[in-house]
Chain A
Amino acid sequence: MSEAIFTADSTPMLALGYRFQWEPAQNCNVLLYPEGMVKLNGAAGEILKRISENKQTVAELISELKVAFDGADLDDDVYQFLEEAYNNDWIRAE
């Protein structure tokens, strides 16, 4: 396993040129980037929405999600998603 890109203190940001928005025609959240689009499932949409709206640390992001989703234990899922999103060049770490 390679070293983790994201820790509790790091700030995930959308990668340069990426835009998050709700797409009525697709009835889902999407990420738009040069000449492409990714349709997001519910969980991915919730995380990326928050990343695109507020500059915050992973710890803050997780606590916000916990409030929104009744204290669910979602730490591992969030970290896993962030790594995956990073590997897809959707987000960067600050």
Chain B
Amino acid sequence: MTGSEQNKQAPGSIGSSIGNVRDQIRQPLWLLAELTYACPLQCPYCSNPMDFAKIKSELSTEEWLDVFRQARAMGATQLGLSGGEPLTRPDLVELISEARKMGFYTNLITSGIGMNADKVAEFKEAGLDHIQVSFQASTEDLNNLIAGTDAFKHKIEMAKAVKANGYPMVLCFVTHRQNIEQMEDILDLAVSLEADYVELATTQYYGWAMHNRDQLLPLKEQLVKAEAIAHRYQEEQKGNMKVYYVVPDYYEDRPKACMNGWGNVFLTVTPDGTALPCHAARELPGMSLPNVRDLSVNEIWNGSDDFNKFRGFDWMTEPCRSCDEKEKDFGGCRCQAFMLTGDPANTDPVCSKSPQRHLIDEALDRGRAESEKSVIDQKPLVFRNPKNSKLISGL
């Protein structure tokens, strides 16, 4: 995935408004269509599954359109077109055009690689509502190193083409220890590109990012500096450029309200048609992994074990079960609870009330220890590519 999804746990703005929120009905509002795992980039912080090379059979155009229609009929309004790199799908314009006709607000989440000015105009014509271009860092060398390819100049061109076609320019930078000290350069670049929105997303430790966690976790002092810079630009750019800055959850003492609650608003469909309550949930134990090729979206959303597993509050263990904040954060992230504690029903260990908070602190310590090693002793970043995927998943 192109990195920008990193920050989409909380499609939070849905339902918020000034004094006119109606009762929330449980239905999918957000359909994230991971169209493909093909990607020209190799970002080591990608949250795609590490064994993505196993996935062979992508949904066809017709199959995707059928999924779109079903989700739309159930009330989904936001469609995220993501991946991998969605631009590698030759039918992307058709998918956009049909989705827009159905009434979706269509979001293209892309690295910009494979795009050109003509294509942007074509997307506009097809009715695409929003393009988000992800950057890996602010300077060419680091950007290319992190992305594992020579992509930077092209991205700048694309960001400009997006603006020229009348879109708000939404830039996303996924921050981590290797680029967070460039916060000022990143924001200066955004200002010079006349960006409308800048999302300073923080790496979320799933998939490849989890594998590379020791090398990616930012240090406390880096964060303090970066946060001050982000706040300064928020003030200075008021009215011109909106800066969203998110503190990495490892440094918080309450977990994120992951997905706004399991099976609450968010539906991910992966390239092969697997339906998931979040894009990392494939890695949880005991999942039945229903597929849109076998079941309707309605059956999956309302009836499948996977989507009902962590709905509501009955599944919770202590300290969540009796916690008066459970309706605020839903106990955090099930995938993080599983990866770190071995049980997805445990409290997300980010929470200071979790008896396993030490797991997070130890991870932060390991990150610091790694950062203090000499360069030759540091573990190399493992880049997300088919070769590494096959190696790691034993194919």
Report which A residues bind B (CB closer than 8 A): 16-17, 19, 21, 23, 25-26, 28, 30, 32-41, 44, 84, 88-89
Tell which of A25, A38, A44 touches B13, judged by Cβ atoms closer than 8 Å.
A38
Q: In the assembled complex, which residues on chain B have CB atoms less than 8 Å from the CB atom of A23?
A: 75, 77
> Does B343 lie at the interface of the complex (its beta carbon under 8 Å from any beta carbon of A)?
no
If A19-B105, A84-B18, A88-B18 touch, whether A37 touches B75 (CB-CB below 8 Å) is: no
> Does B130 lie at the interface of the complex (its beta carbon under 8 Å from any beta carbon of A)?
yes
B17 near A39 (CB under 8 angstroms)? yes
A69 to B385, CA, bound (A): 61
If A36-B13, A37-B29, A37-B105 touch, whether A16 touches B166 (CB-CB below 8 Å) is: yes
> Does B27 lie at the interface of the complex (its beta carbon under 8 Å from any beta carbon of A)?
yes
- Which residue of chain B has the shortest Cβ distance to A25 in the bound complex? B75
Q: In the assembled complex, which residues on chain B have CB atoms less than 8 Å from the CB atom of A25?
A: 27, 73-75
- B-side binding surface: helix, strand, loop or mixed? loop
Q: In the assembled complex, which residues on chain A have CB atoms less than 8 Å from the CB atom of B77?
A: 23, 30, 32, 37
B196 near A40 (CB under 8 angstroms)? no
Q: In the assembled complex, which residues on chain B have CB atoms less than 8 Å from the CB atom of A35?
A: 8, 11, 13, 30, 78, 80, 107, 130
Q: In the assembled complex, which residues on chain B have CB atoms less than 8 Å from the CB atom of A34?
A: 105, 107, 129-130, 132, 168, 170, 197
Q: In the assembled complex, which residues on chain B have CB atoms less than 8 Å from the CB atom of A16?
A: 166-168, 196
A75 to B107, CA, bound (A): 36
Interface centre among B75, B105, B170 (most CB of A within 10 A): B105
B14 near A37 (CB under 8 angstroms)? yes
A17 near B11 (CB under 8 angstroms)? no
A36 to B15, CA, bound (A): 8
